[in-house]
């Protein structure tokens, strides 16, 4: 007797990828890019219902994600198309760009599914390098996946002792490098051409300074001291998810700022889209948000998935952390001022590491620079950002077959 009659099976792996969770699918198992694929992905996630009860989604942005992975013509490379599926609305937000968290599990998934072969390891534990080509933005990433061998066979190593704030439990480290992410969504590292811009927006926000940066993520960076006092907050650690969800006045004004910034960044009317994102930053020396004994330059941050929905991220997106790190290297930017000191390279190299503090802890992100031209030197005295690096972890949760109503395929 046929089982699950009338339904189409789609093989999947469900991963916790960084601080996100989502489905990983083979490109060959879903329709080509377009309306039909969007419908299938939204159906799989249960989009169109606030709790996404009909699918894998968890009712919030970080758990309503899909990565579609396929082969690439270059050696040791795969192609990835990311989809940020709606929650209450059954649609994919094509403005989102890449997701640094979901990128982390792309290479392990590709190795597990045989898109690339696992190279035998001469030692018990090594790393496999995989290049990831983003279909969304054209950016290129390189993942270093921990692998291990046993009795002549090689496997992806998931267990380990690497701990990342905001992620439950330790796991094997997975290192990612962003190789081509300056201007990934707008075409320019500084879309407005300025280190900072000035806006008069909202009902209570009024005049505010912002840095508009596009490095792995189009991001609007605003200073805490110009925002929080106008809404009754004394410091960033008072800005919790619970308070943000009910602070309609704050979120409405931040959304107004985000939409005005989107126009200046050349992204058009961003109403109903998540990009550009927005982050409020402050000094790590502020009460309750110190970096302890860390010698890294850093800042405290509250990152918004979408202020229009009163949705703040529980930690910080990997792409946003890179954008903040890049902004720290722009002389006179909001992020640069929040550091409170001049950025210092790691051991005299061309790499700068910044500690981005979020509600769950501190996330270090490294930014590689290249020499600035004579015309760029005043704006980029430490060098022009061109590459990002960070370490996170992934863990497979389940694999199997998901079901789709046959009319969708």
- Find where tokens 């996404």 sit: 52
Structure tokens belonging to residue 141:
């990433």
Set out the domains of the chain in order of their start, with CATH numbers: 7-181+394-408 (3.10.310.10), 197-370 (3.10.310.10)
Beta bridge pairs of residue 234: none
With contact defined as beta carbons under 8 Å apart, do 367 and 325 qualify?
A: yes
Q: Alpha-carbon distance 5 to 45, whole Å?
A: 21
Q: How far is CA 190 from CA 213, 333, 379, in A?
A: 5, 11, 11
With contact defined as beta carbons under 8 Å apart, do 41 and 56 qualify?
A: no
Return the number of other C-beta atoms located less than 10 Å from residue 11's C-beta.
Answer: 14
Q: Alpha-carbon distance 98 to 26, whole Å?
A: 18
Note down pLDDT in tens along the chain; length 409 residues. 567 878 889 999 999 999 999 999 999 999 999 999 999 999 999 999 999 999 999 988 889 999 999 999 999 999 999 999 999 999 998 888 899 999 999 999 999 999 998 765 444 558 899 999 999 999 999 999 998 877 777 889 999 999 998 888 999 999 999 987 899 899 999 999 999 999 999 999 999 999 999 999 999 999 999 999 999 999 998 999 999 999 999 999 999 999 999 999 999 999 988 899 999 999 885 433 333 344 457 899 999 999 999 999 999 999 999 999 999 999 999 999 998 778 877 776 789 999 999 999 899 999 999 998 999 999 999 999 999 999 999 999 999 999 988 666 5
b/e 35-44 (16+ beta carbons within 10 angstroms → b): eebbbbbbbb
What's the pTM value of the predicted model, to 2 decimals?
0.88
Q: Alpha-carbon distance 171 to 164, whole Å?
A: 9
With contact defined as beta carbons under 8 Å apart, do 23 and 396 qualify?
A: no
With contact defined as beta carbons under 8 Å apart, do 154 and 148 qualify?
A: yes
């Amino acid at each position: 007797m046929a089982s699950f009659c009338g339904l189409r099976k789609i093989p999947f792996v469900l991963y916790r990828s960084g601080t996100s969770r989502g489905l990983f699918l083979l490109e060959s198992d879903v329709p080509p890019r377009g309306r039909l694929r969007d419908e299938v992905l939204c159906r799989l996630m249960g989009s169109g219902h606030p709790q996404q009860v009909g699918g894998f989604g968890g009712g919030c942005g970080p758990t309503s994600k899909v990565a579609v992975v396929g082969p690439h013509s270059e050696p040791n490379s795969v192609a990835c198309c990311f989809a940020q599926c709606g929650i209450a609305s059954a649609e994919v937000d094509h403005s989102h760009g890449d997701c640094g968290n979901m990128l982390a599990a792309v290479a392990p998934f590709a190795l597990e599914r045989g898109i690339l072969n696992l190279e035998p390891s001469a030692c018990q534990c090594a790393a496999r390098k995989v290049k990831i080509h983003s279909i969304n933005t054209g950016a290129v990433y390189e993942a270093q996946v921990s692998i291990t061998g046993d009795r002549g066979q090689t496997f992806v190593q998931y267990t380990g002792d690497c701990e990342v704030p905001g992620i439950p439990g330790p796991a094997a480290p997975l290192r990612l490098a962003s190789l081509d992410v300056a201007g990934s969504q707008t075409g320019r590292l500084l879309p407005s051409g300025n280190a900072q811009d000035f806006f008069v927006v909202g009902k209570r926000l009024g005049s505010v300074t912002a840095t508009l940066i596009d490095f792995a993520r189009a991001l609007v960076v605003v200073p805490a001291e110009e925002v929080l006092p106008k809404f009754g907050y004394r410091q960033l650690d008072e800005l919790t998810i619970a308070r943000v969800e009910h602070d309609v006045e704050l979120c409405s004004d931040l959304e107004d700022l985000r939409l005005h910034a989107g126009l200046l960044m050349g992204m058009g009317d961003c109403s109903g889209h998540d990009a550009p994102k927005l982050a409020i930053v402050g000094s790590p020396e502020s009460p309750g948000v110190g970096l302890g004994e860390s010698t890294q330059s850093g800042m405290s941050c509250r990152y918004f998935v979408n202020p229009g929905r009163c949705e703040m991220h529980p930690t910080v997106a990997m792409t946003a952390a890179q954008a903040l790190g890049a902004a720290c290297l722009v002389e006179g930017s909001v992020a640069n001022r929040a550091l409170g000191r001049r950025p210092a390279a790691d051991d005299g190299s061309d790499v700068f590491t910044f500690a981005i503090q979020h509600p769950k802890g501190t996330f270090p992100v490294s930014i590689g620079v290249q020499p600035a031209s004579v015309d760029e030197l005043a704006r980029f005295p430490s060098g022009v950002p061109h590459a990002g690096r960070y370490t996170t972890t992934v863990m497979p949760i389940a694999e199997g077959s998901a079901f789709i109503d046959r009319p969708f395929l």
